[in-house]
Structure 1
Amino acid sequence: MEGSGREDRDLDGLQEKLVEMKLTYSSALLELDRLTAEREGMRELQKATLGLLEDVEAERERSHDVQLALLNILEDVEEERNKVESTKAQLESVNQELEAFSYSVSHDLRAPLRAISGFSQAVLDDYLPILDDEGKKYLKLIQENAAHMGLLIDELLDFSRLGRHPLRMIDVNIEEIARIVFDELMAQEPARHVELVIHPLPPARGDASMLRQVMFNLFSNAFKFTRTRKDAVIEVGFIPGAEGGSYFVKDNGVGFDMMYVNRIFSVFQRLHPATEFEGTGVGLAIVKRIIDRHGGRVWAEGYVDLGATFYFTLPEVDRDGGR
């Protein structure tokens, strides 16, 4: 019986060991599965890391290519800027030479022109009784053309001086200038009926004498080309918007063909025959030169027999004290 009890105890111990071994084996399998999963995870992480590194390297190469492209663009821009600066300097030099030449030629033409005018008048004074009608006509034509040439010289001198005249920038009352100029021109043609429609005009920053010349030339232009109208109307106003807004001078005169608008601000360019409307073709060129010097723009719109409108921009007054 004693032997049988020992065997039972041995079997119980063996069973316990088997259970323990089974648990240990199960734990080992679980640990193996965990390690295997971690290993697979590490492999996936390695793959992802390698992929990321490849992407980073590719992006770095692309960034390098972009940097090279930007450097090339910057070099091209700098080269173009240098070309523009060089061209600008050359143009400024040419303009200065042309202004000096225009001034010299205009000044030198005065003496012979005075001689032509003076001698033709002397012939009329001394020999009028013996001159036939054709001779008188020729002498009158000489005097008229000499007077026209004198006007051309004066305006050419004014135009050439604009490049050398220093700008004295102040706050300018454009509305007051418009009224004064209109009154002056009306005094020269008191028999005409010209209506002035003037809208509120904000002050501008500029050279007062030059801006007065701008308004005088634009009003003179409007007076001239509305001369065929029984009831002429000149309208002056301001349109808020880009570039600080734009001033305008509008008339109901003969207008012009927009096909030739690019010629309208060029020196000695006329869109109407001198037999119909007097002038030298310099007035609007002076307007453009002055506005250009102020850093503004000037342009025109017109239609044949429906009038014309001239627009220009100027630096606006900064009411907080400064530009």
Structure 2
Amino acid sequence: MSGFSQALVEDYGSQLLGEAKVYLDQIDLASRKMSELIDGLLTLSRSTRGELRHDAVDLSVLSERLLTELMQSSPERQVAIQVEAGLQAYGDARMLEAVMRNLLDNAWKYSAHAAAPGIRVYAEERDGIRRFCVADNGAGFDMAHANRLFQPFQRLHRQEEFPGIGIGLATVQRIVHRHNGNIEARGEPGKGAVFCFSLSNMPADSTRGEKEV
């Protein structure tokens, strides 16, 4: 559908006036949203299928690469970035990249309106379990609605304020659960959010240190 509407714009755009142009723009927007939804559903489905690999994954290097991509996509934004070095994880490399991509995309998106936006990637040790965390100082959320965060198609912010389809965190949770881990979220409206997840069979690493990206 998007291809046909784009072809109409290219071939007959100069002949479209008034409401006709508005209708065509609405068709194009709806088709792009449908494409995003289908892609999201496919990703959600794949997160619970296929053989689970056990790779050594450097989440620090991965996070730096993903954050660099985000900075290149929005060079006008000035975001303070901190990534702790030596965040070694064990799991399916492809799936763990999807986890970090979704968490960092969210941190980037929801910190867009912060006066001095910042994103931090680090690990914490609690109850003998190491958790990897992504924190931002953006829009945050009301903890009273935290149970909705990981449900497909559930969103806590208006679409016009922060666009999205509500698939990302559901995908993250399914991947983490496939690794016999857990994910939790903490947040406060206007003060940011923190998402921390654990993975099974990960040796604790006492070597830590943050560096600027």
Tell me the TM-score normalised to structure 2 length: 0.89
Q: Is 1:161–2:46 an aligned residue pair? A: yes
Structure 1 stretches (4+) deviating beyond 4 angstroms? none
Partner of 1:274: 159
Distance in 2 of aligned mates of 1:134 and 1:175: 50
Q: Which of 78, 81, 97 matches 1:193?
A: 78
Secondary structure at the counterpart of residue 161 of structure 2 = coil
Deviating more after overlay: 238-247 vs 141-150? 238-247
Q: Is 1:294–2:154 an aligned residue pair? A: no
Q: Which of 181, 203, 218 matches 2:88?
A: 203
**Pairing 1:106-255 to 2, within 5 Å after superposition:** 116-242=1-127, 244-255=129-140
Partner of 2:196: 311
Offset, 1:208: 1.1
Offset, 1:316: 4.3
Partner of 1:61: none
Unaligned runs of 5+ in 1: 1-115
Contact 1:200–1:238, Cα closer than 8 Å, also in 2: no
Distance in 2 of aligned mates of 1:316 and 1:199: 21
Distance in 1 of aligned mates of 2:33 and 2:51: 29
Contact 1:194–1:234, Cα closer than 8 Å, also in 2: yes
Q: Against the structure 1 CA distance between its residues 275 and 206, is the aligned structure 2 distance closer, same or farther, given a 3 Å change threshold?
A: same
Secondary structure at the counterpart of residue 62 of structure 2 = helix
Offset, 1:256: 0.9
- AA partner of residue 298 (structure 1): I
Output one character per residue of 1:178-213: Cα deviation in whole Å (capped at 9) or x when no partner.
Answer: 111111111111111011122344412211111111
Contact 2:2–2:31, Cα closer than 8 Å, also in 1: yes
Offset, 1:243: 5.5
CA RMSD of aligned residues (A): 1.7
**Pairing 1:1-80 to 2, within 5 Å after superposition:** none
More strand by share: 2
More helix by share: 1
Contact 2:87–2:122, Cα closer than 8 Å, also in 1: no
Distance in 2 of aligned mates of 1:257 and 1:214: 22
Deviating more after overlay: 165-174 vs 277-286? 165-174
Distance in 1 of aligned mates of 2:129 and 2:105: 26
The higher-RCO structure (CA 8 Å, 6+ apart) is 2
Secondary structure at the counterpart of residue 211 of structure 1 = helix
Offset, 1:230: 3.7
Structure of higher CA gyration radius: 1
